Structure 1
Amino acid sequence: MGADLHYEPKFDGHRLVMWRTEESVRLQTRSGRDVTAVWMDLALAGMQLPAGVVLDGEGIVYVGGRVDFGAAQSRANSTPARARVLAADHPAHYAVFDILGHPDHGDVRGWAWVRRRALLELVLEEYGLGPPIQAVPTTTDVATAQVWYEVLHAQGIEGLVVKAGSSTYRGNSRQWWKVRHAETVDAQVVGYTGPIERPRALAVQLPDGRIALSQALKASLAAQVGRLLQGAGPGRTARTTAGDRYVTAHPAVVVEVLAGTTRHAVVSVTRVR
């Protein structure tokens, strides 16, 4: 392992960017969709931050002392009214792993990760931030990281994120990578088959650049993906690397697929990231 590597527990939730504006807090997904209304408890907590701060992290929900991805999914897919009911039973937490903007420094995405991490810790301490907003733990000690990987799995932590300390926020996959208990990888959705509102399968671009068609989606997953695809606009007919036909779509949707299937032409989608 390199001396510049930093290890963090990988929290299993919904990726959220938190923007503290002059008047309020806005939460958005990685694709840029505003989801403040269903994570209002986190937005209210973020009001402690100074205007101009932009954070990146995971919206997570604990159930029975465990990080519960299903509960986070339920929150993310709920209506604002339903989200208030869910929040009363299981309040959300925000596991922050990066800072992207600061009122005194502007856009800090070009800073090295170690410098951004120091700024993140300073902001959270200076403004008295605590639960439900907390920085994820980090270590450079391999033995500590190994303990986290083995012990925290029982608490719903799905693995580790490994980061090069010199990496910028625009860093590529060789600077940040994930070590999961489940052998899965993230893949970009580039198209679909079947009706757009409930696609039968997805065309995904795998980490090695190949485009492959997934196995048939489960009904609940098809409905979730369909809602995201409908804003992608009309597509065209294209073919996967293996020659299968699909309709193109570029909705900035990332899905998790089983890594063990990615050597073959067909992959299995497990969930939307």
Structure 2
Amino acid sequence: MELPVNPPLEPMLAKSVPEIPHAAGMTYEPKWDGFRCLVFRDGDQVELGSRGGKTMQRYFPEVVEQVLGQLPRRCVVDGELVVIRREPGALPRLDFEQLQQRIHPAASRVRRLAEETPAEFIAFDLLAIDDEALLTAPFPERQARLAGALAGVTPPVHLTPSTTDPAVAEHWFQIFEGAGLDGVIAKPPDLPYAPGKRSMFKVKHARTADCVVAGFRWHKSGPVVGSLLLGLYDEQGGLRFVGVSASFTAARRRELLDELEPHRVTDLTGHPWAEWAGEPGTRMPGAVSRWSAGKTLEWQPLRPELVVEVGYDAMEGDRFRHTAQFKRWRPDRDPRSCDYSQLEQPIRYDVDQVLAGNQ
């Protein structure tokens, strides 16, 4: 592969800010919830580079075909791989969990999933075209060149919507979450492409929830708390595992062990999560998955008496999309009152309408 910009290459990143920045010439785009992907095409050769520098083309053969069929013969394009869930009676939305399932070692499963849950590519930056590198060009120039190069693409290849109107960006931030999107990206007008640098801005939804702490995992460093296991009560009165809170300092991990000690139990007898064993479609806190290979997921049960306030950005089904952030203990809260009704429900929205620019 001989391109003016060759792999491996780190994508340009964004730093989190609490509000959408307003500045003359700023460009705003939806923040897609998928796998970041740098597409390198040199004739019949295609490489799909991940954010971590690994290649992904073996997992997404259908995307390779999309690139060969629709992208310029020699180009480097930055974008996002997504899976869109389309079901009868429901609005289409991004499905990150189905996208995660595409990373599988078995070639037969990769082929089957490529047919059952095909990925789509959303382009938002142009790094090179033909023999010309565009890394030093300002973003508006790269954006215009990208629009010209991809003017004829059709789904499942997309050109991301964009706007220079901050009011439109604010509107997107409010409604696009219901289609499975993450937030809004803001790009300054004089922005060159800086691999690995946090030169852009991202605004994501930030929320809090009061959860029951019904267990914990040990930290890999020794007998201190690694993560708290969080639960919420469902409409049937069952305590559902919704995720973890982690990222504590070493000192705080030791303190947490002392705080949890009065609530520890020696086994799962009578524990609300003991009833989940063997229940189809649910995930136990210690269940092994393809993402946890080589990691110990043994956990220590606690009586479901403690309530913690955590920060989270979004839900994936009935669980937190990412690790929740510990805020504070809530001794004033009754654990039984910690249910799903407290969670904000995003406005339902059609991701196909987002991609079509019909907002």
**Aligned mates of 2:290, 2:117 — CA distance in 1:** 25
In structure 2, which of residues 120, 136, 139 is the aligned counterpart of residue 110 of structure 1? 136
Q: Which residue of 1 aligns with 2:189?
A: 165
Of structures 1 and 2, the one scoring higher in RCO (CA 8 A, sep 6+) is 2
32, 50, 69: which one aligns with 2:96: 69
1:72-221 maps to which residues of 2 (within 5 A)?
Answer: 72-77=99-104, 79-105=106-132, 107-125=133-151, 128-170=152-194, 172-173=197-198, 175-182=199-206, 193=220
Query: Identity of counterpart residues, as a percentage?
Result: 28
Q: Compared with structure 1, are the counterparts of its residues 261 and 117 closer, same or farther at alpha carbon in structure 2 (3 Å cutoff)?
A: farther
Q: How big is the shift at 1:26?
A: 1.4
Structure 2 residue aligned with 1:53: 75
**TM-score with structure 2 setting the length:** 0.52
Verify the 8 A CA contact 1:14 1:76 in the aligned structure 2: no
Counterpart residue number, 1:10 = 31
Amino acid at match of 2:85: V
Q: Secondary structure at the match of 1:146?
A: helix
Aligned-partner Cα distance in 1 for 2:182–2:57: 25
CA RMSD of aligned residues (A): 3.4
Q: Mark the runs of 5 or more structure 2 residues left unpaired by the alignment.
A: 1-21, 87-91, 209-218, 228-247, 254-284, 295-321, 328-359
Shift of 1:193: 3.9
Equivalent-residue separation in structure 2 for 1:100 and 1:212 (angstroms): 39
> What's the CA shift string for 1:196-229, capped at 9, x where partnerless?
xxxx969xxxxxxxx96798xx7679963768xx
Contiguous gaps of at least 5 residues in structure 1: 185-191, 203-210, 228-255, 263-273
Q: Which amino acid aligns with 2:50?
A: T
Larger radius of gyration: 2
Q: After TM superposition, give the deviation of residue 24 of structure 1 in Å.
A: 2.4
Equivalent-residue separation in structure 2 for 1:8 and 1:138 (angstroms): 5
Q: Per the alignment, in what secondary structure is the counterpart of residue 168 of structure 1?
A: coil
Cα deviation per residue 1:97-120 (whole Å; 9 max; x = unaligned)?
Answer: 111111141x21111111110111
Pairing 1:27–2:38 present: no
User: Structure 1 residue 27: deviation in Å?
Assistant: 0.8
- Whether the 8 Å contact between 1:124 and 1:130 is mirrored in structure 2 is no
